[in-house]
Chain A
Amino acid sequence: MYIIVEDDPSVADALESLLSGAGLPVRVFASAEDFIHSASLTPDDTMIVDLGLPGMSGGELVRHLEKAGATPKVIAISGKSSRTIARETEGLSDVKILRKPPAADWLEAITA
């Protein structure tokens, strides 16, 4: 299952179109809180999370999941500067970063 946590509805919808168009199972959440309240992860899941979420940030969500022992494959997306991204993902193990706007095919990057 591919889990998208993104507050911008257009970006979330476009990402969903891209993944589901390729026949992949997708669930979309608008916030970290929504996701925590209504879903849990299995080790096979891939989570695509916007670092700049309102409320609990993407970085905090990943940290929260790591603490809880769930370490899915995480792909962080962000439109911020590389310095900000580095700060926000500090201490997180093995997070792939995709920067907005996309410079390459994201489906390949996500499924790779």
Chain B
Amino acid sequence: MGELEDRRTAVSEARFESLLDTAADGIIVIDDTGRMLVFNKICERLFGYTAQEAIGQNVSLIMPPEFSTYHDRFMHNYHRTGERRIIGIGREVSGMHRDGTVFPLELSVGEAKTTDGRQYIGVLRDLRSRRAVEQRVSQLQAQVVHMTRLSAMDEMGAAMAHELNQPLTALLLYLQAVARQVKACHADAKPPSDKMLDVLDKAVLEAERASHIVQRMRQMVEKRDPERATVDLREVVNEALDLSEFVAQGATVTIRRVFGMAPIHVDADATQIQQIILNLLRNALEVAKESEERWVKVSIGSDDRSAFVSVTDSGPGFSEEVGKSLFRTFSTTKKSGMGLGLAISRAIAQNHGGDLMADPGGNGQGATFTLMLPMHRSDEAEDDTWG
């Protein structure tokens, strides 16, 4: 009988061990003095202590110092009053790694009354990855604002034409006025008057006004110097697609991603590349929305020298005529205007030593826009860093 009991205990202990070690969360059991009795594998990773080192020590070992004093007080309080502050509730706490790194944890605590007295089981989840996701979302939101600049640029094209109109009109009229007066003086064999100089001065002012407008535009386009880094094109594109899906929540167009397994390294300003991808995607989504199949395919590939990102839509393609004027500034087939977007996108691509190409499709094939970028040229020493 006793033997059977022992065997059962052994089996259940083995199960318990295996459960602890396969759990995705950190698990710690402490006794009523705060001494750690169990410290599973995940905890070893989280805190940098082996189970052997941790077991038997006070749980304050894995807390930042300012928390450990609270912990003793909490436990003391609970024992005295029975008032539950954390048991069965769970809360966000801070943990401290052996190397002193403090990080956020979600802690749930259960209580077990055993023959050895009260024990507490803590389940710990590292919140850093969740934090990272939250941060990512807020970064994405900031980027949305940044990216909308590109679409704003299309509208800006129209606004700029409007704004430039006034100084250009005034400038040309001043010049027409002066030209007439000079001619008149000539005819009468009189020297040019001061009045003409006044008018010329005004003309110069108007020309300056026009050039200020252009400068302002340029500043908006060239807000930042490109920040080149060696990046994995798949990640850069993925982020842009995530962003676009995030922005177009509830859209009915399917975005298909055709990516390979191997990283594709290019030297590029990730944000600018994403602007191109977003711009292509925006155009493709708009076309695909009107089509029967409603999909957009984004594929990434490379050869020895170049990396490619192709964006294909399920639309009908476009005519050769449209293709010819596609990249011209201000050219657009849509009311909202995409001409400036494509022209800028191509300029960015060329600035990276690449190009932006369009395949019109047709005959049941949608249009494909392909961004080409030169592959990162690595010497071997650098290769090692891409483990």
Q: Chain A residues in contact with chain B, CB under 8 A?
A: 8, 10-11, 13-15, 17-18, 21-22, 77, 79-80, 100-102, 105-107
Contact = CB atoms under 8 A, between A and B. Distances in A.
B169 A18 contact: no
Contacts of B173: 11, 14-15, 17-18, 102, 106
Interface string B155-178: 000000110111111111110110
B377 interface: no
A17 B169 contact: no
Interface residues of B, number: 24
Q: Which 5 A-B pairs have the closest CB atoms?
A: A79-B165, A14-B173, A101-B168, A10-B170, A14-B170
A101 B175 CA distance: 13
Contact of B180 (A8, A10, A11, A21): A21
Contacts of A105: 176
Interface of B: 161-162, 164-174, 176-177, 180-181, 195, 199, 202-203, 205-206, 209
Contacts, number: 70
Contacts of B168: 100-101
A107 B180 contact: yes
14 contacts: A10-B166, A13-B202, A14-B174, A17-B174, A17-B177, A18-B173, A18-B176, A18-B177, A21-B199, A79-B169, A100-B165, A100-B168, A101-B164, A101-B168
A79 B210 CA distance: 15
B169 to A, nearest CB: 4
A105 B161 CA distance: 21
Main secondary structure of the interface of B (DSSP, over half): helix
A39 B168 CA distance: 29
Nearest to B179: A105
Contacts of B209: 10
B166 A11 contact: yes
Given A21-B177, A100-B165, A101-B168, 8 more contacts: A8-B169, A10-B170, A10-B209, A13-B202, A14-B202, A17-B177, A21-B199, A107-B180
Given A14-B173, A14-B202, A100 B180 contact: no
A107 B165 CA distance: 18
